[in-house]
Amino acid sequence: MTATKIAIMGVGKIARDQHIPAIAADPRFELAATVSRSGGLDGVENFATLSELIAARPDIPAVSLCMPPSVRYEAAAEAIAAGKQTMLEKPPGATVAEVLDLARMAEEAGVTLFATWHSRHAEGVAAAKAWLADKTITALRIDWKEDVRKWHPGQDWIWEPGNLGVFDPGINALSILTEIVQVPLHLTGAELSFPENRAAPIAADLTFAGPGFIAEAAFDWRQEGGEIWQIAVETTAGTLRLIEGGARLFLDDSEQTVHGRGEYPDLYHRFGDLIEGGARDVDATPLIHVADAFLLGRRLVVEPFNE
């Protein structure tokens, strides 16, 4: 089997921590180049712009775009126009309209577009979805809280419009929610807490309505003493809990055995399958919920945030 050559654009923390090791572990891919103005990787050809990569390396058919969402649309559109199989780090764009437009472009060009939601590939998510498939949900609660200084140290871009603030991790919870709950949900209310010196929220409280139940979510970047990434779903057959970002699954108080490749290795496995099948996978639903939160959300001004 010949490995597909792939280039990464945006060699930041998420690329170094997750994408590059996942590519190295997948025999179907070969990291052939990077695109980064701030420097690439030792031993890997680097280009300053995507245009330079496309011109110099027509032998690279696939790209993985790992830069912040506020600047991803133009790069994705350029890659699709050049016929590149394209993978998008989450969230897939700064707006819903961008994502839908990229999906249209990819379909018209006949290339793969994979809008990834890495938390959907956590080990417990598929099993949770299967268990809930025939259950009646009575209540749902999400708590997704972490320390922004730990997970986004010195990353001022995350506080700018289009880069989501606390919804950057919160959208991971929403991606799991929309994967495991197979009934329609819509946002009915939100409170968004903005530090007085920042343009994006540091915390958010959301309420959703489902058929016969209410779902609540609390996202917070001011968490100290360890992360809380959990979803609890109460049903007439018992309570399901996903903790540690979906890695562990409990039914009532009994932990279930789950298996998986890990989030990012499974993303690249899925990307390989999509390329082989000439298919696309673009789901904007988690981003729609975030957009609705900004539309409906009551804005609260809280104390300033400083590193």
| pLDDT one-digit tens code per residue, 253-295 | 999 999 989 999 999 999 999 999 999 999 999 999 999 999 9
Cα gap 282→268, rounded to integer Å: 15
pTM of the model: 0.95
Percent of the chain with pLDDT over 70: 100
Q: Find the helix or strand (DSSP H, E) in which 78 lies.
A: helix 72-81
- Residue 240 β-bridge partners: 233, 251
In this structure, the dihedral spanned by the alpha carbons of residues 11, 12, 13 and 19, taken in order and rounded to 10 degrees, is -30
State the pLDDT confidence band at 302, using cuts at 50, 70 and 90: very high
Which residues on neighbouring strands pair with residue 193, listed in sequence order? 203, 300
**Residue pointed to by tokens 């929220």:** 201
- pLDDT at site 39: 82
Q: What is the pLDDT of residue 64?
A: 98
pLDDT of amino acid 13: 87
111: its two tokens: 């290339």
Q: Which domains does the chain have, with CATH numbers?
A: 4-118+263-281 (3.40.50.720), 120-259+291-302 (3.30.360.10)
Cβ(83)–Cβ(105) under 8 Å?
no
Which residues form the catalytic set? 90
Taking only the tens place, the pLDDT of each residue in 46-72 is 999 999 999 999 999 999 999 989 899
Over residues 191-200, mean pLDDT:
97
| DSSP assignment string, 204-262 | EEEEEEETTEEEEEEEESB--SS-EEEEEEEETTEEEEEEGGGTEEEETTEEEP---S-
| Predicted pLDDT of residue 59 | 97
pLDDT at position 38: 83
Least confident of 103-107, 162-166, 206-210, 299-303: 162-166
C-alpha Rg value of the chain to the nearest Å: 19
Check pLDDT > 80 for residue 20: yes
User: pLDDT-based confidence at 40, cuts 50/70/90?
Assistant: confident
12 vs 20: CA distance, rounded Å: 11
Question: How are beta strands 62-65 and 85-88 bridged, if at all?
Answer: parallel
- Mapped onto helix, strand or coil, the DSSP state of residue 89 is coil
Q: Indicate if the pLDDT at residue 300 is higher than 80.
A: yes
pLDDT tens-digit map of 77-104? 999 999 999 999 999 999 999 999 999 9
Number of H helices, E strands in the chain: 10, 15
Could you tell me which residue, 191 or 259, shows the higher pLDDT? Answer: 191
Q: What angle is formed at CA 99 by the lines to CA 94 and CA 102, rounded to 5 degrees?
A: 125
In Å, what is the CA distance from 9 to each residue of 1, 49, 84, 273? Answer: 25, 9, 13, 21
Beta strand residue intervals within the chain, DSSP E: 4-9, 29-35, 45-47, 62-65, 85-88, 113-115, 137-145, 186-195, 203-210, 213-220, 228-235, 238-243, 248-251, 254-256, 298-302
The answer on pLDDT for 2 being more than 80 is yes
Torsion from C-alpha of 233, 188, 71, 106, nearest 10 degrees: 80
